[in-house]
Amino acid sequence: MGSSGVEAVDRKQKIRDRYKGVDASELEVIPAKAVEGFGESTSVRRVAAYVRVSTDNDEQTSSYELQKNYYTEYIKAQPGWEFVGIYDDEGINGTSLEHRKGMQQLIEDCKAGKIDLVLTKSIARFA
């Protein structure tokens, strides 16, 4: 890896470190639209989240880390939800499943019945 590659890795790590344990009160959260009947289930739901950013730049790294933190905390805070995990693909274009290992694993786990509900920032993350 050349010096510019090392510098990029260092910048990304600094961004990741900055967002670990960030106080949620310091963030502006754009709430999802409510779905009628969504919270009425009485059984425990096994819930996961899928996070993908399509480019490998610093701004996307911030979004990537914030999304992972948000979904982890959000899922764990919901009564009746069991946190399954975060499935993710960083710096991966969404045009093909070929290199999207996180999405491939998510699909396998859904097919295996390990997940009841998947949260994501936008349906475009699946495209």
At 20, phi and psi to the nearest 5? Answer: -70, 125
Q: Tens of pLDDT along 11-49? A: 777 777 777 777 777 767 666 666 656 556 668 999 999
> What is the rounded distance in angstroms from the CA atom of residue 63 to the CA atom of residue 66?
5
- Give the number of other CB atoms < 10 A from CB of residue 47: 21
Strand order in the sheet with 81-90: 81-90, 45-53, 117-120
Share of the chain above pLDDT 90, in %: 32
Return the higher-pLDDT residue of 7 and 96.
Answer: 7
C-alpha atoms less than 13 angstroms from C-alpha of 48 in its C-beta half-sphere: 19
CB 76 within 8 A of CB 48: no
Q: Tens of pLDDT along 102-122? A: 889 999 999 999 999 999 887
